[in-house]
Amino acid sequence: MQCTTSISKMIEWQQAMKTSQQTIGFVPTMGFLHEGHAALIKEAKKNNDCVAVSIFVNPTQFGPGEDFEAYPRNLDADVRLVSQAGADIVFCPEAEEMYPTDGGIRIVPGPLADRLCGASRPGHFDGVLKVVLKLVNIVQPDTVYFGMKDAQQLAIIETFFQDYNCPAAIVRVPTVRELDGLAKSSRNVNLSDEERNEAPAIYEALQQAEVLVREGIAIEVVTQFVEETLRKKTSGAVDYVSILTYPQLELPNEISQDLIVACAVQFSKARLIDNIIFKREG
């Protein structure tokens, strides 16, 4: 497996792949990789001639006071995981390589970022869209793979790709979970032992919410039930619990079918998010 920190080397690689008619699958990551990322890479490898992975803790998607400095990093372990999962090249640029200039042009996600994580992380999805467009322009993949844990990110990127005719296809890959149901996340290592024991309550509450919605319980009632459950069963602060249409992220009406129930819980040193996307029967 090749490894490069250089944009021009990365471009050379993808041009060589294109010249030899090979399809490129791409998995953008922020490193500290786990089985969720491995699943993305394996899915990419299964459906493409070659796979590129990027590892870049993107400063522009962290707000002031957020955990950019505390975000866990372990490049050596990451490179091993990426190689074992079958990637052909890993792109690990420094921030100076990615952001040598800034003319102040932003991609602003609009209403899709008003809810869920966007409400408490202003500017976060501007930074996500900027780095994703930059990476896609550099790697020029046929297909990009995203995990469904970051469901709002995925909805915004899908909308951007569709509205702006971005040439890469997007594949949604299901969230990988620990045995107790906790969604795999790079931030889980920043949980205390006590918090780690409480954290599976998040997915349990979301599963209960799906059952209740399917049973016809009103959205507001289910939302409140999840909030109260999370308050009772965890020591974290509940940032939000929301049930919305997916991927439009609008308030559901009677006939809405594809729904997401999503939440964010702020523990002492880790803000965890999770969601379930499901189809409500008509």
Which residues line the annotated binding site?
30-37, 61, 147-150, 153, 176, 184-187
* 7 sits near a second copy (criterion: CB under 8 A): yes
Per-residue HEC secondary structure of 39-89 comes to HHHHHHHHHCCEEEEEECCCHHHCCCCCCCCCCCCCHHHHHHHHHHHCCCE
* 122 sits near a second copy (criterion: CB under 8 A): no
Closest to 275 measured CA to CA, from 177, 206, 176, 226: 206
* 2 sits near a second copy (criterion: CB under 8 A): no
* 96 sits near a second copy (criterion: CB under 8 A): no
As a whole number of angstroms, the distance between CA 168 and CA 194 comes to 42
Q: Are 69 and 105 in contact (CB under 8 A)?
A: no
Residue number with CB closer to a second copy (157 or 212): 157
Sign of the C-alpha dihedral computed for residues 237, 239, 245 and 251 taken in this order: positive
* 162 sits near a second copy (criterion: CB under 8 A): yes
- Residue 37 among the catalytic residues: yes
As a whole number of angstroms, the distance between CA 206 and CA 87 comes to 33
Residue number with CB closer to a second copy (45 or 130): 130
Binding residue numbers for beta-alanine: 61
In our burial notation (b when 16+ CB lie closer than 10 A, e otherwise), range 229-246 reads bbeeebebebbbbbbbbb
Least separation, in Å, of the C-beta of 212 and a second copy? 29
* 159 sits near a second copy (criterion: CB under 8 A): yes
> In the β-sheet with 89-91, what is the strand arrangement from edge to edge?
2-4, 89-91, 50-55, 24-29, 143-147, 169-173
Region 13-72 residues binding a second copy, contact defined as CB under 8 A = 18
Work out which of 65, 69, 96, 104 binds a second copy, going by CB under 8 A. 104
Structure tokens at 175: 């969230």
Q: Which stretch binds a second copy (CB under 8 A): 69-77, 83-91, 161-169, 198-206?
A: 161-169
Residue 167: burial class (beta carbons within 10 Å; 0-12, 13-18, 19+): exposed
Least separation, in Å, of the C-beta of 11 and a second copy? 8
- Of the residues 37, 42, 121, 134, which is catalytic? 37
Q: Which stretch binds a second copy (CB under 8 A): 41-49, 55-63, 126-134, 193-201?
A: 126-134
Residue with tokens 């709002």: 152
As a whole number of angstroms, the distance between CA 26 and CA 47 comes to 11
Residue number with CB closer to a second copy (108 or 179): 108
**Using the 8-state DSSP alphabet, how is residue 184 labeled?**
P
Least separation, in Å, of the C-beta of 154 and a second copy? 13
Work out which of 76, 96, 105, 282 binds a second copy, going by CB under 8 A. 105
* 167 sits near a second copy (criterion: CB under 8 A): yes
Work out which of 121, 134, 149, 271 binds a second copy, going by CB under 8 A. 134
Looking at the annotation, which residues are catalytic? Answer: 37
Q: State the residues that interact with a second copy by CB under 8 A.
A: 7, 11, 18, 101-112, 129-130, 133-134, 137-138, 140, 156, 159-160, 162-167
